[in-house]
Chain A
Amino acid sequence: MTARAEAVRAAGGEGTAPAAHAASGPPGGVGIYTQKLGMWVFLASEVMFFTALIGSYIILRWGAGNPWPDTRAVLNIPTTAVNTFILICSSVSMVKAYAAAVRDDQKHLKRWLLTTVVGGAIFVGVQVREYIKLVHHGFLPSSGLFGATFYTMTGFHGFHVTCGVISMAWVTIRAFRGKYKGGNYHGIETIGLYWHFVDLVWIILFTIVYLV
């Protein structure tokens, strides 16, 4: 693992930084290639964004002591539990795709990327169906604080998954065009970071919005 990382760094990494420059190596840098570092910084910002939304939910529900409806009466928990499982599985397939890219196994890379895209798309589809049903039952963003927080948090998460699915579809197309050959796994690893982050946020949301 370390040897490979060393080799990549010695080769000047990849991405937008001119190779000649990167080859000299950043003095005292953190040894993470530029795209990955950029993604980590971006995710730090995303953490703060979701913290604002989730923190507000916690304050409104528990801090302010507002009466809260029985979530089980409103939400279909078994369906969402299955949906959560599908999203977690897509994270597993993402890891598989990354591993395939690292060992330059193009066949499995394409297969696992496709699995991830499909998993993400199913998740979004089920969530849209859930929204439609809830709206039909008269549960709206204006339905008290529960409606407001529910739609804001799951909506922004769904928006992130949708962006992830679109980006992942693009990465998959690139994979089919052979852009990740010869151990060129940086793009896969970077999108994977985002995917796992979105997955992690969902696990928190599912717990505090649906289960608690």
Chain B
Amino acid sequence: MTASATAAPRGGAPHAGHDDRSFIRKYIASTDHKIIGIQFLFVSLFFLLVGGLLAMGIRWQLGFPGQPMPLGGWLPSGVAPGGVVAPKMYISLVTMHGTFMIFFAVMPLLVGVFANYLIPLKIGAPDMAFPRLNMWSFWVFVLSGLVMLSSLFVLGGPAAAGWTAYAPLSATPDYTGVHLGQQLWCVSIVLFGLSSLLGSVNYITTVVNMRAPGMTWFRLPLSVWALFITAILAILAVPVLAGAVIMLLFDQTIGTHFYLPAAGGQPMMWQHLFWFFGHPEVYILILPAFGIVSDVIANGSRKPIFGYASMVYAMISIAFLGFIVWGHHMFISGMNPTLASYFMVSTIVIAVPSAVKVFNWLATMWRGDLHFTTPMLCAIAFVSMFIIGGLSGIFMASTPVDMYIHGTYFIVAHIHYVLFGGSLFAVFAGIYFWFPKMFGKQLDERWGKVHFALTFIFYNLTFFPMHILGVAGEMRRIYDPTAYAYLRPLQPINVFITINAFLLFLSQFVFAGNVVRTLWKGRKAPLNPWRDNGLEWTTPSPPPHGNFATIPTVYHGPYEYSVPGAAEDYTPVNQPPAAVPEPAR
């Protein structure tokens, strides 16, 4: 408490004395949650690039099957003879694209970056509850990512059983010819689970025990609520995947037969275990996006978030329902049809809390003083794309419809509408919004809007036509659509998608260029560029080690915008509402 007496070179940080840490302690093996968040940011953006490159390989083959890829001649002839991806490698491309994007790009971008960076700053804590575990969480993540990357270069190629690694395809090399690649996939996923566990223990403990005085549960920003609920999902779902993957690894290495039917094993058991993890995982990938978008939309509308409590309860019910609906991924697996009707009904129920959230966002914007900043544009894009992705989800939740569209490009369109249109737009919103906090410099708004517009247009032109392909019957992991007479007339759509996918990929370099340019010679950000209420804006940018000079006190909720009678249209949460009348809600 008396730390402010030990005056500091950097704005009176309470732990300023710690700041003579060595370079390694400060930036490499750092226990500071802010550095760890930024480490996660750059590493997972790198994996986003890897996943994107793999996607370009997929799209080239689908758009121009049999024609040599640009630069394809550089690939070894075992992978792409004559620059054309080999059929066997195509399945590996699809597998690794999904794996990198889900486990190493979107999940760490949402959870690793924002949970680490935002939770302590937003609740008024000096750091996480277990800073050293937090450091290990990051480095185990790097290790697991390196193992997964290395599997791209081993003999036999990387895993080729889909990101879902369905058994028995994944349990024995007999079908895919992949030995080591699949084993490295398993090892990497187990390590990833360990990293996720270490992080989640931290997030939960920190939110429960380290909130500043006055930061009651129902004054938590929705982003913190979302990340907290996400951590609970991760704690309960990821270990199930770890257990399932360990059994899969044993099947491949020490001759067990958990998933191999010849010796009494159960391939269906893999599907149940995988999706018991996999469906909560879907919400791990979207709940933090809900939180980020709620914060950004309230800020960009200069209005209190509409229905704060219902937002929290909606997230809790989505999280709970997420655990009891996994069977909707398995309607055509041969599962008992009676079970299917249960899974159908429980899945459709999720539409209710999801709709509550969407209507709350719309009502927040309704008659608001809308500021179309880049983060706000990304957040609005999130809401609209999430509506499309959510509605196509209803199609798949209905067993009779799913029977028809299961395993087609319709589901590819759906997952990209929620994961790219949803989660990734929220990631961009979050990065644009908190970049000034992280680096003290503000990303260029003009280039930000260019990036947003290009991404939004090409994203929709890429993924929307996939709905049409799916309903027309194009299968999801197909190598060459022109090999089927009934798909041949649709090939122009595939070409169209491929061209737009390339443009979408190229558009991301606008973002990368903006980041590099801003870090290099960007203008210094004002202390509170978005005029936000959050506690994180009450410290210098970037905040010093230890975050706050003194532990702040919180007087009201985080969404007190445009309070009648107040001098400004925002009221930071650490500002006593002395002259401010309690707004009627």
Contacts and interface: CB of A to CB of B under 8 A. Distances in A.
Interface of A: 16-18, 20-22, 24-30, 32-34, 37-38, 41-42, 44-46, 48-53, 55-56, 59-60, 63-64, 66-67, 140-142, 144-145, 147-149, 151-152, 156
The 3 closest A-B pairs by CB, nearest first: A52-B243, A142-B255, A148-B256
Interface string B185-225: 00000000000010011101100111111111100000000
Contacts of A56: 243-244, 247, 258, 269, 273
B235 A52 contact: no
B126 interface: yes
Interface string B239-263: 1101110110010001111100001
Given A37-B205, A49-B242, 16 more contacts: A18-B126, A21-B210, A21-B551, A25-B213, A28-B216, A37-B209, A41-B205, A42-B197, A45-B201, A51-B243, A52-B240, A53-B243, A56-B269, A64-B264, A67-B264, A148-B258
Nearest to A21: B551
A48 B234 CA distance: 11
B237 interface: yes
A44 B236 contact: yes
Contacts of A38: 129-130, 201-202, 205
Contacts of B211: 26-27, 29
A79 to B, nearest CB: 25
A30 B205 CA distance: 10
A38 B265 CA distance: 36
Mostly, the B contact residues are helix
Given A26-B210, A53-B243, A145-B263, A45 B256 contact: no
27 contacts: A20-B3, A22-B209, A24-B551, A26-B210, A28-B217, A30-B208, A37-B205, A38-B202, A41-B201, A41-B205, A45-B197, A45-B200, A48-B239, A51-B240, A52-B239, A56-B244, A56-B269, A59-B266, A60-B265, A66-B264, A142-B255, A142-B257, A144-B257, A145-B258, A145-B264, A148-B256, A148-B258
Contacts of A48: 235-237, 239-240, 243
Given A16-B131, A24-B213, A56-B243, A145 B265 contact: yes
Contacts, number: 141
Contacts of B264: 60, 64, 66-67, 144-145
A42 B133 CA distance: 12
A52 B250 contact: no
Contacts of B148: none
A152 B257 contact: no
Given A56-B273, A64-B266, A141 B255 contact: yes
Contacts of B197: 42, 45
Contacts of A26: 208-211
Mostly, the A contact residues are helix
B19 to A, nearest CB: 16
Interface of B: 1, 3, 125-126, 129-132, 197, 200-202, 204-205, 208-217, 235-240, 242-244, 246-247, 250, 254-258, 263-266, 269, 273, 551
A37 B216 contact: no
Given A24-B213, A27-B213, A49 B240 contact: yes
The residue in B202, B257, B264 that gathers the most chain A C-beta atoms within 10 A of its C-beta is B264
B567 to A, nearest CB: 28
Contacts of A142: 254-257
A211 B447 CA distance: 68
B250 A21 contact: no
A29 B129 CA distance: 14
B257 A145 contact: yes
A147 B258 CA distance: 10
A141 B250 contact: yes
Nearest to A25: B213
A148 B250 contact: yes
Contacts of A27: 211, 213-216
A140 B256 CA distance: 9
Given A26-B210, A34-B205, A144 B129 contact: no
B204 A41 contact: yes
A22 to B, nearest CB: 8
Nearest to A64: B266
Given A27-B216, A60-B265, A144-B257, A52 B129 contact: no
A28 B240 CA distance: 31
B129 A147 contact: no
A25 B211 CA distance: 8
